[in-house]
Structure 1
Amino acid sequence: MGFRPSSYWRLIWQRSLLISLLAVSPVALSSEEPGQAEDEDVSAADTTQQQEQGLLPINELRTFADVFDRIKQAYVEEVDDKTLLENAIQGMLTELDPHSAYLKPEAYQDLQINTTGEFGGLGIEVGMEDGFVKVITPIDDTPAKKAGVEAGDLIIKLDSTPVKGLSLGEAVKLMRGKPGSDIVLTIIRAGIDKPLEITVTRAVIQVQSVRGRLLQKDYGYVRLSQFQINTGADMLKLLEKLRKENDADL
């Protein structure tokens, strides 16, 4: 085995994560190089020693780097490095178990929002209508409500970005942002000829995962929309509130 300069190993470390790219890239590869059979015993011994010492498996990482380079050179379409490496990470975690997954920064942020129930936003429930964002209802005591946004308003522009052509998810991402920052909503309102511009200052919005009400004597209704960090405590508070309204156990 020839001597490799330290820069070679740094390159392998920087570019190597997983061999799973083979599963998604239709590139013909040989698992054996000329002279490789002669080094199998040595490679196996090296791998065992590395595992015992808690080191990275250099031979496997070298294989990954070779696969990476060949895909870059021979794949039918050009694929950027970031995409290849992210696919490799996803493949690695997918093979572990059904509950392990790799999340990109945007997906992780969405997960945090769903888990904590908090995000920087306007405080409106929205849908899509005729390609525009329709305000279903502004939530009480939120920036949108205080700024004068009304149910039924059609949002046609977010700052300088036209809403037409955006998905609902894309529009929602534009409306969310750092608490304290401003966004200008251009809206169409029934009964008003010209579009209105409303400036809304984003704030921390608390998403309610538990809602409920007393239907009639001794009967209550509770709706759990998603699990968040405080869902258990919120559920107990709501049940206690309904018991007090009922003046008895439900």
Structure 2
Amino acid sequence: MLHPRRFARPSTLTLALLLGIYGSAWAQHPPAEMAPAPEVQGTSTGRAPLPLDELRTFAEVLDRIKAAYVEPVDDKTLLENAIKGMLSNLDPHSAYLEPEAFAELQESTSGEFGGLGIEVGIEDGFIKVVSPIDDTPASRAGIEAGDLIVKIDGKPTKGLSMIEAVGMMRGKPGSEINLSLVREGGKPFDVKLTRAIIKVTSVKSQLLEPGYGYLRVTQFQVNTGSEVGKALARLRKENGQKLNGLILDLRNNPGGVLQAAVEVSDHFLKKGLIVYTKGRIANSELRFNADPADASEGVSMVVLINGGSASASEIVAGALQDQKRAVVMGTDSFGKGSVQTVLPLNNDRALKLTTALYYTPNGRSIQAQGIEPDIEVTRAKLTREQASDGLREADLAGHLGNGNGGADRPSGSKAAGEPRPQDDDYQLSQALNLLKGLTLTRGK
């Protein structure tokens, strides 16, 4: 998970747009000029009248707890718990951030933090893995998107808030932690992990075969847009000419910075809408359009998504799908189509409040639905047959030579090459096959 930049306390309301599950990287939105409170219809001042009956009930409950609860509870604890209750019952992503949680949210957008490398959400009161981050203790231990974390070091997670669960999973690098997981309704199983400093490389690239590039975006950090541009230039240089096709892999990408999602999309689009947001507060309605530059040179594209592709990943996949720029392949994405705004409060506290929904160019809301791939390809285990030891024509004594003068190809003439990512990744191999087909039918 990523966390936002540290910034000085503003004198006016500062908005920060978040597009991840919990504590994803965020980009500071320009502060509203003396931003007003959200308008509510029906009053001359734009503010709704205070609900006096409910406030009296609240005061009475507070007084009864202080007087009758088995142990003394101070006002500060009761009031902060009341605030947490207000936020936690709105939606899974709104939260009241106390100083420690707010500081963690502000840590950095550099992609380096301590922990296990898991992006989590809440489902039916349990902590659910949205996606493991590449090259972290979680991914190396085989934790998968969709796993339910039912216990952390033996303590049940049922009823824990997301912030509480994340706090338990963090710790000193080198320390161990035990997670009890349930996968696809099966029996619980335990995984022991060692916490580490998580250094996330947001963009990886390589040539799968001559002419066919592979671009993996693991998270959307502040600099991801520029890194994708550099990766595209490297792929072209390595290939020696324009690519025939490109695979953009957004599987298990939990999201991140809105601006980065827009910039990545813009690398592949020459015109049109990328994404827009709709909400109630000032500056929550935004529209982002592509500029004419196209760093990808219009090559054929396949975008890979799965259930761990969330938020900013869905913005990119949805934009490229709606604009008919790429074929989207894989399985349904996570379905987080809401935007969170960080509203700093006094005493180093803040609200993380859901303030808008985002929409794809065709007006689709992804919230609770996700992106449906154009071609569904589920994950599968690849097994390869051993090369046949049987004879071929070229093995027979006295065989005729090739009519065009080509070299003979006896059995065993193909040397085993270096392992390639597509050799063990069924979805990736299918994406590559599709790209090759598009190249053959459309021409280079």
What TM-score does the superposition give when structure 2 sets the normalisation length?
Answer: 0.28
What TM-score does the superposition give when structure 1 sets the normalisation length?
Answer: 0.46
Q: Which has the larger radius of gyration?
A: 1
**Higher helix proportion:** 1
